[in-house]
Amino acid sequence: MALKIWLDGKLVDEDEAKVSVFDHGLLYGDGVFEGIRFYSGRVFRLEEHISRLFDSAKAILLKMPWTHKEVCDSVCETIAANGLVDGYVRLVVTRGAGGLGLNPYLCETPSMFVIASSITLYPEEHYANGLSLVTCSTRRPTHGSLSPQVKSLNYLNNVMAKVEALKAGAMEGVMLNEQGCVAECTGDNLFILKNGKIRTPRISDGALDGITRAVIFELAEELGIPMTEETLTRYDLYTSEECFLSGTAAEVIPVVAIDERPIGDGQVGETFKKFLEAFRKLTQSTGTPVGGA
């Protein structure tokens, strides 16, 4: 059955969901996006995702013609129209159609579309057995070029790092900043356990201020596990006792090796299992009902 896509205020069949070849989102990667999860008919952390979307848009001077509530409603409407209970939403706002050339003011009206479907970022066995990572040579963009906090449509940096990881036989790669410190992975935030404390890269080191990352902070407090943001090096990763990743699409997934170094004893850690259990419980018990944003 064809998916229903929310496109600029209307639900259309997926084969009718089209944008102009003059859209600056297509021509120049000029736009922003969010990935959002829904579980058991409830959208997880919807308000936080939409707030971040508006922040990204503001940072690139993209004026949103929709209200916060209208965008939330579009997400719920799209999920309901497709009869979905569990899945993933990709929400995209482009600069809109305009003439050739970088000038964003040639685009009169932004365009927005919402896709609700399923996603499998990693095979299920990796959630039980863990991932092996490699370090990528492609560096995370600096705050001096484009803030890593902007979830822009120009994702080529992450794509090329992902290619590096895949060609090396890994499903995910660690990205460093220009100083050689750990920023994050190509699509996920990264956490390590050492001496009973969870450590994760600082936002200032290039990590995205992820929605799921914030959930991990909340869960750490509930579980009584100390957690800090720190500048991390690859040495810190190699010598950690446990490692795991978080992200909207990935959810929470363990890591058992980095650059051929086993993490801890090379097995999925007990601390990770506590986070996974708590995370899954949370996603099933909270969220915005699809029936009303």
Helix pair 46-59, 68-81: axis angle to 10 deg: 130
Q: How far apart are CA 185 and CA 140, in angstroms?
A: 9
Catalytic residue (choose from 18, 63, 69, 151): 151
Instruction: Count CA within 13 A, CB hemisphere, residue 144.
Output: 2
Is 151 a known active-site residue?
Answer: yes
Catalytic amino acids?
151
